[in-house]
C-alpha cells in the first residue's frame, strides 16, 4: 500500500471518530444544560474539543446556541464538525480506489449533509437533539458500512489504528478536563448528575450502573474509563484494539519500522495493564493522564515517521 | 395516446440532421424511447431528472470548483434522454476509427524513427518540427509493440446530410470515458427495463480491456506486473475519472510524489518500502511529466521518469510525444497518411480544413471569415476559438491580428452545423447540437472500441460548442445491437 494512501485512510478514520465523540458530547451536554438549576457552563467541552482562546470561551460558555453553532457549523473553527467531515471526505476522495464505493458514498453524503444550510438553521431554530441525532446516525452509518463492506487488509488496519488511537486520546483528554474541573470545584465530586451526564456522553452510563453499585465515585469512574477492557471507549480497550490491528501489519519487508512502532505500543499497553486505580491515585491522576497522553501522541508520530512518510 | 405531447412544437433547425426526426417522422431506432416518453407523465419525468442529479451528487461524480478557498461541488450537466447510434452507423464508425488509428500509430512510429513520410514529401518537415508537441527526446526510442496511441478519444460530428466527419483526434490524454460508464449506470436507475428492451450494447467491459492492454505492456515479464494510474491530483477537474478508472481496473492511483526513479527504474513508496512500477497509465501531460526534461517547475511529475522510459524499464501510456499526431495542422494530412501507410481510401472523412500558413488558403479564410471556425492548432477544450458566424467585427479584427502574428498556429474550417437531438430542458423537448467521442483501445492484440462513447451536447440554445468548459453537457450513448 502507498504510504500516502495509508496516511489518508488513517486520518479519514480519525476525523470521523473525533466527529462522533464531539457529537455525543454536544448532545449530552445540551441535555444536561436543560436539566440544571444552577448555571450550566460549556467550558470543559470547549477546552477539550477546540482551541478557542480563554476570553472567547468565557464569552460563549453560557450560551448553548452559540456553542452548538461554533462546534458544528462554524467554518472558522478548525475542529468544527463541518470542517472535520470535510477533511475526512477529502482524505477519502484521494483514496477512493482503496475504500469501497459504499464507504465513499457514505462519507460523501455526510459531507453534503453537514454543508447544507438547513443544518445550521435547524440547529438554531429546532430541537438540537434531533439535529445532532441525524448527524450521529450518519457517523454510525459510516462505522456499519466500513464494518460490512471493507476488505480486511492493510487499509482496514490503518483505519482501525486511526480510530482507536483517536478514541484513546479523546478518553484521556476528557478525563483530564473532568478531573481538573473537580479539583477546583469539590462539590462536583459528590454531584451525581455531574457524573451521570459525563458517563452518558461517552455511552458508559448503563455499564457503570451494572458494575458499580455504590453510586458515583471518582475511583470507579477512573476504573471504567481507563481500565475496563469491555468498555469500548476505555483507554485500555482502545489501545488493545490499536495494538491488535497493528500486529497484522507485521511482515518480513518492514521489520525495522514494525519493531520501532511495536515497541512503543507495547510499552503503552503494559503501562496501562500494570497500573490500577490505587497506583494512579498515588502517582497523581493528572501526571498519569499526561504520561498516557504523551505516549499516545508518540505512537502517532512514530507511525507518521515509519509508515506514512512519503516526501 | 396523451392529449399533450412533450414533443409538441419540437423545432427542428433548418439544414440540420436531427437524430430523432426525419421530415417530421420519428426515425425507427428512436421509436421505442419516443413511445416511452409519450406515455410518461411530465411530473414523473421531472422526478427522474431530479433523481439523476441526486445520484451524481451522492456518488461524488463531480468536479470541484475552488473559489475563495472553498470547494464547490459541480456536476457535469447530464441530459436524461439517450442518444442512439444504429448498428449500421456504429459499424462504419468502428471500421473507420480502426483504420485511422492504425495509420496514426504508424505515423508516430515513423516520425520518431526513419521519417519516410517526410522524405517522401507527403508531410512537410517544417510542420513537424514547428509543432510544440513534437518531442525530440523521443527520437529513436522504441516503445513496446510500436504502439504509441493506446487510448484515443476521436471526436465525430454529423453534417446536415447525416455523414459522420472526424473533427479531432485526441491522442494524448483523452478524458470523458468515465462519463460513458457512469451515464449508463444512471440511465439504468432512472429508466428501468428500457435498455434491454432497446437492445443496447453494454459498455462495462471498458476497464477490463484497458487493464488487459496495460498489463501486457510490462517490460518485466512477470505474472502480476504493477500497473498504476498517474493523476495530477485531486484538484484536477478529471480527478473523479482517474479514481473511477483506478477502482474499476483495481490498480493503484498514484501522484507524482508517490513515485521515484532509482537506477533508471520507477518505484512507488509503500508502507513496505519501495515497489517497482512496470506500467504507468498517466493522465499528466507531457510537459509536466519529468521536471528534468520538460517544465522544470512541475511538481506533478517524476524526476528521471523519461530516462527510465527510454531505457525501456517502464511503459508509459499514452506514449510521450503523441501531440505531434493530433496537432490540428497535422490533422489535414491524416487522409494522406492512410493512403501512404495502408494503401487504403479513408473510410471516415475529415472536415475540410484550411491552413492559414498557406497564403492562398489564408486569403480565402479571411475573406469568408463569417462562415469559418478558426482554431489554434494546439488548443483544446474549446478555448481560443473564433466562431465566425457569431463573432462581432471587433472580435474578428482582434483575432485576425493574432492569426497574422503566427499563422502556423491556426487552422480554419467551414462552420459545420452539427446534428441535433432532443434534450429535456425546462419541461420541454428541445433540439440541441451534439458530437460523439468513442474511445478506442489499442493493444498488442489489436484495436478494440467499446460500443458507446461520450455524447457531448451544447446545452445553450443555438450553440455549436459542446465543450464542458463552454456550457456543454452529456448524454448516455446507446449503440444498438440490431
Residue of B249, B271, B275 best to disrupt the A interface, most CBs of A under 10 A:
B271
Mean confidence (pLDDT) of chain B: 91
Asked if B269's CB is within 8 angstroms of A310's CB, the reply is: yes
The pLDDT assigned to B2 comes to 45
Å between A3 CA and nearest CA of chain B: 5
Which residue, B307, B312, B317, B310, is CA-closest to B147? B317
The pLDDT assigned to B134 comes to 94
In A230-269, the residues whose Cβ lies within 8 Å of chain B are 249, 251, 253-254
pLDDT (average), residues B153-182: 94
Q: Is the dihedral of CA A144, A145, A146, A147 positive or negative?
A: positive
Q: Where are the alpha helices (DSSP H) in B222-262?
A: 239-249
Residue A37: CB atoms within 10 Å: 5
Partner residues linked to B164 by β-bridges: B158
Give the residue on B whose Cα is nearest the Cα of A311.
B257
B217/A58: higher pLDDT: B217
**Which residues 6+ apart lie within 8 Å of B31 measured at CB?**
none
Strands (DSSP E) found in B271-409: 273-276, 279-282, 315-317, 349-350, 354-355, 372-376, 386-387
Q: Above 0.90 for ipTM, yes or no?
A: no
Nearest 5°: phi and psi at B375? Answer: -130, 155
Residue from the list B58, B60, B273 with its beta carbon closest to the beta carbon of A253: B273
Q: What is the pLDDT of residues A184-240, one digit of tens each?
A: 776 777 778 888 888 999 999 999 999 998 888 888 999 999 999 999 999 999 999
In the predicted structure, residue A260 carries a pLDDT above the cut 80: yes
The pLDDT assigned to B392 comes to 87
DSSP for B194-206, written as a single string: HHHHTTBPP-TTH
B426 — pLDDT class (breaks 50, 70, 90): confident
Residue from the list A2, A105, A251 with its beta carbon closest to the beta carbon of B268: A2
Q: Specify whether the CB–CB gap between A32 and A197 falls below 8 A.
A: yes
Reduced to 3 states (helix: H, G, I; strand: E, B; else coil), residue B59 is: coil
pLDDT (average), residues A267-286: 93
Interface of B with A (CB under 8 A): 57-60, 70, 73, 233-234, 239, 243-244, 246-247, 250-255, 257-258, 268-273
Query: What are the angstrom distances between the C-alpha of B378 and each of B293, B325, B328, B434?
Result: 20, 11, 7, 22
This prediction's pTM: 0.89
Strands (DSSP E) found in B30-100: 63-67, 70-74, 78-85
The pLDDT assigned to B1 comes to 42
In the predicted structure, residue B3 carries a pLDDT above the cut 50: no
pLDDT (average), residues B354-370: 88
Asked if A310's CB is within 8 angstroms of B234's CB, the reply is: no
Amino acid at each position: 500500500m502507498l504510504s500516502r494512501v495509508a496516511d489518508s485512510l488513517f486520518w479519514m478514520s480519525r476525523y470521523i471518530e473525533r466527529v462522533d465523540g464531539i457529537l455525543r458530547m454536544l448532545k449530552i451536554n445540551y441535555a444536561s444544560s436543560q436539566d440544571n438549576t444552577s448555571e450550566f457552563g460549556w467550558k470543559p467541552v470547549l477546552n477539550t474539543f477546540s482551541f478557542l482562546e480563554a476570553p472567547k470561551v468565557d464569552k460563549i460558555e453560557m450560551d448553548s446556541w452559540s456553542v452548538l453553532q461554533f462546534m458544528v457549523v462554524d467554518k472558522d473553527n478548525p475542529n468544527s464538525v463541518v470542517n472535520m467531515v470535510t477533511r475526512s471526505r477529502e482524505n477519502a476522495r484521494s483514496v477512493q480506489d482503496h475504500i469501497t464505493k459504499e464507504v465513499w458514498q457514505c462519507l460523501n453524503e455526510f459531507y453534503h449533509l453537514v454543508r447544507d444550510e438547513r443544518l445550521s438553521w435547524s440547529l438554531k431554530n429546532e430541537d438540537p437533539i434531533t439535529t445532532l441525532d441525524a448527524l450521529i446516525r450518519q457517523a454510525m452509518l459510516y462505522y456499519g458500512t466500513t464494518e460490512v463492506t471493507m476488505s480486511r487488509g492493510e487499509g482496514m488496519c490503518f483505519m482501525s489504528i486511526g480510530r482507536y488511537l483517536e478514541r484513546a486520546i479523546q478518553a484521556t483528554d476528557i478525563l483530564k478536563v473532568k478531573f481538573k474541573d473537580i479539583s477546583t470545584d469539590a462539590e462536583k465530586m459528590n454531584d451525581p448528575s455531574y457524573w451521570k451526564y459525563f458517563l452518558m456522553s461517552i455511552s458508559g452510563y448503563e455499564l457503570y450502573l451494572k458494575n458499580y453499585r455504590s453510586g458515583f465515585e471518582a475511583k470507579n469512574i477512573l476504573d471504567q474509563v481507563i481500565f475496563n477492557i469491555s468498555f469500548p471507549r476505555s483507554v485500555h480497550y482502545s489501545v488493545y484494539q490499536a495494538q491488535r490491528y497493528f500486529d497484522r501489519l507485521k511482515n518480513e519487508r518492514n521489520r525495522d519500522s514494525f519493531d520501532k512502532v511495536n515497541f512503543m505500543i507495547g510499552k503503552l499497553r503494559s503501562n496501562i495493564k500494570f497500573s490500577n486505580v490505587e497506583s494512579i491515585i498515588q502517582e497523581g491522576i493528572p501526571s498519569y493522564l499526561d504520561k498516557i497522553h504523551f505516549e499516545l501522541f508518540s505512537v502517532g508520530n512514530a507511525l507518521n515517521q515509519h509508515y506514512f512518510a512519503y516526501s | 395516446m396523451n392529449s399533450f405531447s412533450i414533443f409538441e412544437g419540437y423545432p427542428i433547425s433548418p439544414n440540420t440532421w436531427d437524430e430523432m426526426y426525419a421530415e417530421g417522422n420519428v426515425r425507427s431506432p428512436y421509436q421505442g424511447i419516443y413511445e416511452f416518453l409519450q406515455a410518461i407523465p411530465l411530473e414523473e419525468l421531472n422526478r427522474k431528472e431530479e433523481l439523476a442529479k441526486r445520484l451524481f451528487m451522492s456518488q461524488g461524480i463531480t468536479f470541484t470548483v475552488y473559489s475563495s478557498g472553498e470547494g464547490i461541488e459541480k456536476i457535469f450537466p447530464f441530459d436524461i434522454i439517450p442518444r442512439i447510434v444504429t448498428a449500421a452507423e456504429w459499424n462504419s464508425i468502428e471500421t473507420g476509427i480502426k483504420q485511422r488509428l492504425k495509420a496514426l500509430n504508424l505515423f508516430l512510429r515513423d516520425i520518431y524513427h526513419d521519417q519516410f513520410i517526410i522524405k517522401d514529401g507527403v508531410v512537410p518537415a517544417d510542420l513537424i518540427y514547428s509543432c510544440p508537441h513534437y518531442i525530440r527526446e523521443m527520437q529513436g526510442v522504441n516503445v513496446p509493440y510500436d504502439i504509441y496511441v493506446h487510448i484515443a478519444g476521436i471526436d465525430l460530428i454529423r453534417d446536415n446530410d447525416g455523414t459522420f466527419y472526424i473533427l479531432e483526434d485526441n491522442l494524448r490524454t483523452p478524458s470523458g470515458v468515465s462519463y460513458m460508464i457512469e451515464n449508463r449506470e444512471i440511465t439504468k436507475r432512472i429508466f428501468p427495463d428500457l435498455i434491454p428492451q432497446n437492445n443496447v450494447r453494454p459498455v462495462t467491459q471498458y476497464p477490463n480491456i484497458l487493464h488487459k492492454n496495460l498489463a501486457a505492456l510490462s517490460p518485466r515479464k512477470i505474472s502480476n506486473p504493477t500497473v498504476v494510474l498517474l493523476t495530477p491530483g485531486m484538484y484536477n477537474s478529471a480527478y473523479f475519472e482517474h479514481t473511477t478508472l483506478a477502482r474499476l481496473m483495481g490498480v493503484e492511483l498514484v501522484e507524482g510524489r508517490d513515485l521515484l526513479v532509482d537506477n533508471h527504474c520507477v518505484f512507488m513508496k509503500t508502507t513496505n518500502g519501495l515497489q517497482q512500477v512496470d506500467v504507468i497509465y498517466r493522465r499528466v501531460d507531457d510537459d509536466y511529466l519529468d521536471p528534468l526534461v520538460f517544465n522544470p517547475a512541475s511538481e506533478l511529475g517524476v524526476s528521471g521518469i523519461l530516462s527510465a522510459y527510454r531505457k525501456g524499464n517502464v511503459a508509459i501510456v499514452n506514449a510521450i510525444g503523441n501531440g505531434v499526431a493530433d496537432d490540428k495542422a497535422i490533422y489535414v494530412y491524416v487522409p494522406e497518411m492512410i493512403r501512404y501507410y495502408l494503401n487504403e481510401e479513408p473510410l471516415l472523412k475529415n472536415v475540410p480544413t484550411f491552413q492559414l500558413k498557406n497564403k492562398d488558403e489564408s486569403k480565402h479564410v479571411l475573406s469568408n471569415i463569417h462562415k469559418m471556425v478558426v482554431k489554434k492548432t494546439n488548443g483544446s477544450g474549446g478555448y481560443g476559438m473564433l466562431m465566425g458566424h457569431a463573432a462581432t467585427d471587433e472580435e474578428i479584427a482582434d483575432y485576425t491580428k493574432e492569426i497574422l502574428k503566427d499563422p502556423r498556429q491556426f487552422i480554419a474550417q467551414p462552420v459545420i452545423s452539427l446534428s441535433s437531438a432532443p434534450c429535456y430542458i425546462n419541461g420541454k423537448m428541445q433540439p440541441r447540437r451534439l458530437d460523439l467521442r468513442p474511445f478506442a483501445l489499442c493493444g498488442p492484440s489489436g484495436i478494440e472500441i467499446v460500443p458507446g462513447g461520450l455524447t457531448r451536447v451544447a446545452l445553450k440554445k443555438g450553440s455549436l460548442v459542446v465543450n464542458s468548459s463552454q456550457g456543454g453537457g452529456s448524454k448516455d450513448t446507446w449503440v444498438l445491437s440490431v
